[in-house]
Amino acid sequence: MAEAADVVIVGGGIVGSSIAYRLAEAGCTDVLVLEREPHQGRGSTGKSMGGVRAQFSTELNIRLSLYSLDFFARFEEATGCPAGYRRQGYLFVASNEEHLAYLQNNYQLLVACGVKSVELLSPADVLRLVPQLRADDILGGSFGSTDGFVDPYSVMTGFTLRAVDMGARLWKGVEATGILEDARGVAGVETTRGRIATRTVVNAAGPWAAQVAALAGVQLPVEPLRRMLVPTEPFPLISHAAPMVVDMETGFHFRPEGRGILLAWNDPEETAGFKTSFDPEFIEKILLRAVDRVPCFDALEVNPKRAWAGLYEMTPDHYPVIGPVPQVPGLYLANGFSGHGVMHSPATGKVVADLILHGHSDLIDAGALSLARFAEGRLLHETAVL
Ligand SMILES: Cc1cc2nc3c(=O)[nH]c(=O)nc-3n(C[C@H](O)[C@H](O)[C@H](O)COP(=O)(O)OP(=O)(O)OC[C@H]3O[C@@H](n4cnc5c(N)ncnc54)[C@H](O)[C@@H]3O)c2cc1C
């Protein structure tokens, strides 16, 4: 084999880039990232809404978020590129007792995890934050002031550029087509540009992760699930400093984007599959939910040509699969982020680099995220999936 690398990362999205950056920063600079598209960002990363938040319902996700939010705050210092981190907050709005109790429980957990930037809100507080909401049924809410949004493309680029500065390589337009093994485990990667000798491969292939795992004979339960976003034309009736607002009743959520609003809703009828075309019928469905919670959205103008669809990478318990695959020594997984891959990319890079270089990570108990949990019935449970 002519080419060789200490670590080959399959997938140059935000997750693969973050891992490359962390490895290089820790001194492991002989890293080669393979991206089959001619440009990075054509997978889920370039389609993301960029939401980042600490408001989750389990300690594991809160830990991943806290590390990541802190890193976004110093991203430019670390990488030389802006993350576009806007701390405009996430406002969860509850209009039934069950959701209110859920927010109260989360609040207790967040405080116990040391989060100081979250507060429970009365209906009046909710309206003070976003006066345009229909409030007749609102029972309360919760607001995290360090939650907000980043620019996923810029974060991916920052990780990559800094990793490359430190010696990592990125091959664009090159697909991994096989994972080679010998008696010791991973021995190399077969690609459309020839073989690469390596003892360590990281699967960071986003929605295509199951196919890459299958190259090593590993069954990975990660399924692509279409998500659609609808940007509006300029809309002056809502402040552009408004937070991400989540109507818990319907799952409809929105945030300011440019001079307009970015509308999101996860259609529960969507089924798994590589569907990446935008369905124009979705516009009516989402506007129905939008106007119901924000009556002035009646005046929104939408150009269907600007709307888009992308793929979530879903696991059965909506938690990622991070860590080594014991039956294929040298193969690592960083997959299945189930809608949270942008916000958790800094923590994921750290955990995967720690596991590769030291065999453990102080940040989280990575064993909880192992692939084995599915076979062993140790599924995790997170209810705050958007
Ligand atoms: C509409 C939408 C909204 C979202 N909103 C949010 C949000 O608000 N907050 C949040 O945190 N997350 C959000 N997400 C999820 C987030 O975008 C993803 O979890 C994240 O981008 C995953 O990054 P990745 O690098 O793992 O995958 P990707 O960005 O998909 O990168 C994987 C890369 O692997 C490459 N690849 C695949 N197979 C091969 C191969 N065999 N050889 C070489 N290269 C290969 C692909 O071309 C691709 O570029 C959203 C996703 C969507 C679709």
Give the CA-trace dihedral at 174, 176, 181, 186, to 10 degrees. 80
The residue whose CB lies within 8 Å of the most ligand 1 atoms, and thus the one to mutate among 45, 156, 226, 343, is: 45
The verdict on the CB of residue 343 being under 6 Å from ligand 1 is yes
The verdict on the CB of residue 339 being under 6 Å from ligand 1 is yes
Q: Which long-range contacts (CB under 8 A, 24 or more apart) does 248-254 make?
A: 248/92, 248/93, 248/94, 248/95, 248/99, 248/102, 249/95, 249/96, 249/99, 249/137, 249/293, 250/289, 250/292, 250/293, 251/289, 251/386, 252/286, 252/289, 252/290, 252/292, 252/293, 253/386, 254/290, 254/294
CATH of 3-49+152-222+316-376, one of 3.50.50.60, 1.10.10.1110, 3.60.150.10, 1.10.357.10: 3.50.50.60
Span 342-361, pLDDT tens digits: 999 999 999 999 999 999 99
Whose Cα sits closest to atom 26 in ligand 1? 206
Sketch the domain layout of the chain as residue ranges: 3-49+152-222+316-376, 86-147+224-314
Q: What is the mean pLDDT of residues 247-251?
A: 97
In this model, does residue 382 exceed pLDDT 70? no
Whose Cα sits closest to atom 2 in ligand 1? 48
The reported pLDDT for the residue numbered 1 is 55
In this model, does residue 386 exceed pLDDT 90? no
Residue 287: both structure tokens together? 């506007």
Helix (H, G, I), strand (E, B) or coil at 273: coil
In this model, does residue 258 exceed pLDDT 70? yes
Quote the mean pLDDT of the chain: 96
The reported pLDDT for the residue numbered 378 is 87
Domains 3-49+152-222+316-376 and 86-147+224-314 share a fold: no
CATH of 86-147+224-314, one of 3.40.47.10, 3.40.50.10320, 3.30.9.10, 3.40.920.10: 3.30.9.10
Q: What percent of the chain has pLDDT over 90?
A: 97
The reported pLDDT for the residue numbered 384 is 57
Pairing of strands 260-264, 223-231: antiparallel
Whose Cα sits closest to atom 22 in ligand 1? 341
- How far is Cα 59 from Cα 113, in angstroms, rounded to an integer? 7
What pTM, to 2 d.p., does this model score?
A: 0.97
The verdict on the CB of residue 9 being under 6 Å from ligand 1 is no
